[in-house]
Amino acid sequence: MDRKIAKRIARHLNITAENFERRKAFLGIEAEDIRRIKAFRALLPGTPPELFDSFYDHLMAFHETRSYFKGDEVLVRLKKKQMAYFDQLFSGNYDMDYMLSRLQVGYVHVQLNIVPLWYIGAYNKYMQGIKLLVDEHAEEKELTYKSIVKVIMMEIVLTLESFHYTKYRLQEELKRMAITDDLTGVFNRRKLEEVMNLEMDRANRTGQDLSVLMVDIDHFKAVNDTHGHQAGDDVLIEITKLSKNSLRESDYVIRYGGEEFLVCMPETSLEEAAQIAERLRRVVAEHTFDTVGHITISIGVSGYDKGESQETFIKRADQKLYDAKQSGRNRVCF
């Protein structure tokens, strides 16, 4: 797997080379531990296949883990990977590349939906097999096993950190997708109530101004009928970009309907909102769109009256938009 993902996870978790060395020190991994592990590996006649046979026999005994192994080819491939991991584990080279490989494991487990229970349970079985090998081959049996446990504890911590971080990012991405319009990338109607309730409550508490714009693309049906729906989509995307450039970072842009956008503007008076709306209207009117050339927008503006409902607040902006349409389009009414 591409190590770029693991490097990004390490960066977000702030696991630098220095931090990684401190982690090893905290877990008590010392030069003597590494010496014992290397000495144990040198005494082994090879990579013991019976360890991996026993390990996968255990996993295949439970339907929850058996579902991850679809066919004999998958099992053979995984055994080869485990053998490579065995060599890595007992190499004694616990550097940044080794750390990244453990972070990758956590990431992959999220992709495969392998929960920590199965991961820890599998490691428990793996450790039993390693203990048997240590008892059979190591010269310093008890101390060698303790050294190995230290390294494996470090691995488990890294893997679980990566797992939980990746799970969190995945959940955040799913939340973002749920409230984001697929085409334009701005908020969708699911986000509307949350935004409006938040800002209306803040306006009620602080007495600060709050305004909304209701923006509609003029003659948008004609764009689709004449140039096709792809051209219509391109117009929506381009207007979104123009809106973001014309508005402020504190303003919320929400796709309200097919060609309608609602803009929630905290700490903005009706007059200020109208000025910003006029600037946006002018920017769009002067812009040349690919395929369709020039198009215009109409905008209705309303200011929040303390204590009024969200429905009334938005409906007033919608009425002003209607007025703008009725009076000739390509204008702002407030």
Local structure of 134: helix, strand or coil: helix
Q: Is 138 left (phi over 0), alpha (psi -120 to 50) or beta?
A: beta
Q: Where are the beta strands (DSSP E) in 175-291?
A: 210-217, 252-255, 260-266
Backbone angles phi, psi at 10, to 5 degrees: -60, -40
165-176: b (≥16 Cβ within 10 Å) or e: bbbeeeeeeeee
State the chain's maximal CA–CA distance in angstroms. 93
End-to-end CA distance of the chain: 56
CB 245 within 8 A of CB 211: no
The CA distance from 279 to 253, in Å, is: 16
Of the listed 193, 259, 267, 272, which one is catalytic? 259
The CA distance from 28 to 331, in Å, is: 71
Residue 247 neighbours by CB under 8 Å, 6+ apart? 253, 263, 265, 276, 280
30-50: b (≥16 Cβ within 10 Å) or e: eeebbebbebbbeeeeeebee
The CA distance from 208 to 306, in Å, is: 10
Strand order in the sheet with 252-255: 252-255, 260-266, 210-217, 297-303, 332-333
What radius of gyration do the chain's Cα atoms show?
30
Query: Catalytic annotation on 259?
Result: yes
- Report residue 106 as tokens: 């956590």
Q: Catalogue the active-site residues.
A: 259
